[in-house]
Structure 1
């Protein structure tokens, strides 16, 4: 009986060790791939590079001249349509003092719809294409729209969703002053 208990405890210990090591391996893989376990305020956000609708490459992350708003959206999203005029308005007003990158979750969208949405809303800021959805995964985006306000040092200041235009403007003003 003692032999069975000892063998059982040894087996459970080995299983626990294997599970722990597997978890650590996954954490290391996520960290090396740039995945954040969670988005933490006042901590650096993951870096990424995406192609824009204009064909240019855009790199996000680290120190920059201006703070940035990264807005994840899709053309089929009702709240994204609701938010679009406010995004255009704050960018038209403050675009010289902050960057705005609208990241289309293209894996869940159609390119013709993306182009029509951008044209219909008169967006003049860069539209980035997350064709595989990896950037949205990296930022832990659960639904659209989701926006990340990031200071000049590449640190997360706030995560927001659809706000009334005056509230969005206040958040952008605060970001610019940070």
Structure 2
């Protein structure tokens, strides 16, 4: 009797796991239908238009003048506070060769906290507001902070999380070196 009960419980657990996996695959299929393919290395970066704190509209998608780092963040995120000064220093050092867009996951944040964060760290690069969370969904964002490195052709070349300043700079140099044209 005891063995039968255990066998039934195992079968029920396996069936539950199969239902969960089916729901997950259905969710992924619905997301892909709604937003297109997920952000993936060596593929075009998902396109979006967002408004910045400065009131300007910013577009991502297709070829660009400079490589781009899209950094998804939130004011309540501890690691976001850690990396903000480094991102700002990197932007100041490379702004002639590189764009950085800080995309705030505004749907889960408060505008006054976003503004306070920007002021606290003196961010000089554009801060974009993802107020509906659609851009985070399009990029299949799992955690903040997450940064997507995109080359001039609009191709996603790397995905990173918080890195020490030297490692971040190495990733930036690699992104910039990939975009250098060979001499004629």
Q: Which residue of 2 aligns with 1:105?
A: 105
User: d(CA) in 1 for partners of 2:72 and 2:61?
Assistant: 16
Q: Which residue of 2 aligns with 1:78?
A: 78
* Structure 1 spans left out of the alignment, 5+ residues: 1-18
* Coordinate RMSD, CA, aligned: 1.7
Q: Which residue of 1 aligns with 2:135?
A: 135
1:131-170 to structure 2, matched below 5 A, reads 131-170=131-170
Q: Which residue of 1 aligns with 2:59?
A: 59
Q: Which residue of 2 aligns with 1:122?
A: 122
Q: Which residue of 1 aligns with 2:176?
A: 176
Q: Which residue of 2 aligns with 1:46?
A: 46
**Contact conserved, 1:34 with 1:47, CA < 8 A, in 2?**
no
**Contact conserved, 2:39 with 2:138, CA < 8 A, in 1?**
no
Shift of 1:34: 3.6
Q: Which residue of 2 aligns with 1:6?
A: none
User: d(CA) in 2 for partners of 1:70 and 1:114?
Assistant: 16
Q: Which residue of 1 aligns with 2:92?
A: 92
Q: Which runs of 4+ in 1 moved over 6 A?
A: none
Change (3 A) 1:28 1:105: closer
**Contact conserved, 2:52 with 2:126, CA < 8 A, in 1?**
yes
User: d(CA) in 1 for partners of 2:154 and 2:57?
Assistant: 18
**Contact conserved, 2:71 with 2:148, CA < 8 A, in 1?**
yes
Change (3 A) 1:116 1:175: same
TM-score of the superposed pair, with normalisation by structure 1: 0.81
* Structure 2 spans left out of the alignment, 5+ residues: 1-21, 179-184
Shift of 1:30: 3.5
Q: How many residues are matched?
A: 153
Shift of 1:140: 0.6
Q: Deviations over 1:73-132 (max 9, x none)?
A: 000000000011110010010011010000000000000000000011010100000001
Shift of 1:39: 2.5
